[in-house]
Amino acid sequence: MPFLRTFPTRAADATGPSPSTYGLLLLSVAAAMCVQSLTDVWLHTSLVQWLAPLSMLAGAVYFNTRSICRRRFGAGLALLAVLIIQLPTAGALAYGVQAFSLPLRDDWFIGIDRAFGFDWLIFQTFMVE
């Protein structure tokens, strides 16, 4: 079977998010808390909403100490928990930064898009059709 020979026979070890990913997550949460305290624009989330991702991280730690099959599940669980934690954090940063009334950088981002050859009007008409 030539198809099976193109892929390695040994499965890669799933390790989950790296320590730098967790560091960036903590940094973004801290930045969101700082921006919210500076602007007094708070995105309120209840404690129950934080229990799910925190229990998922605890489960990931548990499963990562088990066999390779369970480590893959633990890695997926940790990644999902990181994404769930990052959603309200990004929302809090987006709303909080708007309170600073900084100038828009649309021209700068359009220039970047054009440098990569990306045209928003063509993309938009394609999506509408």
At residue 1, the pLDDT reads 47
The string of pLDDT tens digits covering residues 81-128 is: 999 999 889 988 888 888 888 888 889 988 999 999 998 888 899 999
Give the three-class secondary structure for 117.
coil
Identity of the amino acid at 23:
G
Q: Are 75 and 14 in contact (CB under 8 A)?
A: yes
**CA angle, 15 then 17 then 21, to 5°:** 150
The string of pLDDT tens digits covering residues 33-76 is: 999 899 888 888 888 888 988 899 888 888 877 766 677 788 88
Kindly state the average pLDDT of the residues 24-36.
Answer: 91
pLDDT at 79 over 70: yes
At residue 116, the pLDDT reads 92
- Spell out the residues 6+ positions from residue 49 whose beta carbon is closer than 8 angstroms to its own: 88
Q: Which pTM was predicted?
A: 0.65
